[in-house]
Chains A and B, each alone.
Chain A
Amino acid sequence: GNSVTQMEGPVTLSEEAFLTINCTYTATGYPSLFWYVQYPGEGLQLLLKATKADDKGSNKGFEATYRKETTSFHLEKGSVQVSDSAVYFCALSSHSGNTPLVFGKGTRLSVIA
């Protein structure tokens, strides 16, 4: 079945550091890939998405590129801020039939000033 594996946290970075959160997936066919973010006490928000190979999703300085050859969708940001502290979830949605999201376990990011 479909599954998502993302690096375990927590990740603690200083402000303005470079961020990478690794995400790999297993799926049949060509899924759509997503990063969701969950700020403390809030619901999940879509951060970015990519629907086909080599697509790059970007939002708020975050980027992720859909790499079919490595089945990866790593999240990156060049300079993190304290306000980026949250839990980040990688997710996929299959292209066949029903398309509920399958999530990874989440990676908690803490950015310190």
Chain B
Amino acid sequence: EAGVAQSPRYKIIEKRQSVAFWCNPISGHATLYWYQQILGQGPKLLIQFQNNGVVDDSQLPKDRFSAERLKGVDSTLKIQPAKLEDSAVYLCASSFNVQTGNTIYFGEGSWLTVV
């Protein structure tokens, strides 16, 4: 079974530039998550989708971050304009549904460095 696919794996941009990350969840998984993992910290949820609807985006910095999952499958996360503190690994994850105890599967992450 294919896992959660993310691209690009690595990106270096200058501050104030924009960047977009793409995620393809495991086939059949209705729930998709984007997490931000800053070096030395645990992942922090940015946004959660159920199919193509947003369930939780309370921790998404909406002045610069946006995310969409238009057809309920793939998702993109965009940062514009980027700040130095956005340097982190952006993890996409998916699960079959939101039911408690369901295993959440993570992609390998997109590593962003803002200089």
Contacts and interface: CB of A to CB of B under 8 A. Distances in A.
Interface string B83-115: 000000001010000111111111111000000
Nearest to B59: A100
A89 B42 contact: yes
Contacts of B42: 4, 89, 91, 103-106
B56 A100 contact: yes
Given A98-B55, A101-B45, A106-B41, A46 B105 contact: yes
A106 B105 CA distance: 18
Interface residues of B toward A: which range? 20 to 34
A104 B42 CA distance: 5
Given A89-B42, A100-B45, A100-B56, A43 B109 contact: yes
A68 interface: no
A25 B45 CA distance: 17
B24 interface: no
Most buried by A among B43, B103, B105: B43
Interface string A81-113: 000000001010111011111111110000000
Interface of A: 4, 31-32, 36, 42-46, 49, 51, 89, 91, 93-95, 97-106
Interface of B: 4, 33, 40-45, 48, 55-56, 91, 93, 98-109
